[in-house]
């Protein structure tokens, strides 16, 4: 069983982690440092287990580092008050207060919630980009670029399919 678990971890795309975690903001550095020494996430499942709870599109993005087609997510044009959670483990990731219209066709935010996300350096497609994932389950969310609006100057370019929007009125905690 240990062998199978190790195999699962090795094939979860964590090879990319060997390239080194990199912080994109001082706020995220502590969290990033914490994950760089231990690549085991709080929530881990086998690909088979993820397939049971995710749609094929969600699995493709979250677990296989896929990218949804630009403009395909209804969340791109959603500006209602609320919270965007991880579609894989329901961890709150972004507040609607930090969402902005980037014009890219992907939901964009200038800042994640404190400690909600982690980053890795992504050197695929002959580019060096900063990959963003859920801190709790490691699910791939998108990338962060340094051409965002104030106050952070960051643009978290997210796949809408990797997010679940929870309207503010429905939150029990208010
Ligand atoms: Zn998650």
Q: Ligand 1: distance of its center to the CA of 165 in Å?
A: 14
CB 47, CB 8: distance < 8 Å = yes
Q: Ligand 1: distance of its center to the CA of 41 in Å?
A: 9
Q: Which residues surround ligand 1, an ion (CB under 5 A)?
A: 86, 88-89, 91, 134, 136-137, 139
Kindly give the residue spans of alpha helices, DSSP state H, lying in 17-151.
Answer: 26-36, 47-53, 56-62
pLDDT tens digit string along 79-130? 999 999 999 999 999 999 999 999 999 999 999 999 999 999 999 989 999 9
Note the pLDDT of residue 40: 85
Measure the CA–CA gap between 108 and 68, rounded to whole angstroms. Answer: 14
Note the pLDDT of residue 39: 67
Q: Ligand 1: distance of its center to the CA of 53 in Å?
A: 12
Ranges of residues in the chain whose predicted pLDDT is under 50: 1-38, 171
Note the pLDDT of residue 169: 80
Measure the CA–CA gap between 19 and 8, rounded to whole angstroms. Answer: 19
Note the pLDDT of residue 32: 42
**CA–CA–CA angle 44, 23, 64 (5° rounding):** 35
Residue 89 is among the residues annotated as catalytic for this protein:
no
Domains of the chain: 2-168 (2.170.150.20)
Query: Which two tokens mark 93?
Result: 């990731």
Q: Ligand 1: distance of its center to the CA of 86 in Å?
A: 5
**Whole-model pTM?**
0.76
CB 77, CB 70: distance < 8 Å = no
């Amino acid at each position: 069983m240990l062998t199978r678990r190790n195999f699962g971890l090795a094939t979860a795309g964590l090879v990319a982690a060997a390239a080194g975690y990199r912080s994109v903001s001082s706020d995220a550095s502590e969290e990033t440092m914490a994950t760089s020494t231990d690549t085991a996430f709080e929530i881990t499942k086998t690909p088979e287990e993820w397939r049971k709870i995710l749609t094929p599109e969600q699995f493709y993005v979250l677990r296989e580092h896929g990218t949804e087609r630009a403009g395909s997510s209804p969340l791109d044009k959603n500006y209602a008050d609320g919270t965007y959670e991880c579609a894989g483990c329901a961890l709150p990731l972004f507040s609607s207060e930090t969402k902005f219209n980037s014009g890219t066709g992907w939901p964009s935010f200038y800042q994640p919630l404190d400690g909600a996300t982690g980053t890795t350096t992504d050197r695929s497609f002959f580019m060096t980009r900063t990959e963003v994932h859920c801190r709790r389950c490691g699910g791939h969310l998108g990338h962060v670029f340094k051409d965002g609006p104030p106050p952070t100057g960051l643009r978290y370019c997210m796949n809408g399919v990797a997010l679940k929007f929870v309207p503010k009125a429905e939150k029990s905690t208010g």
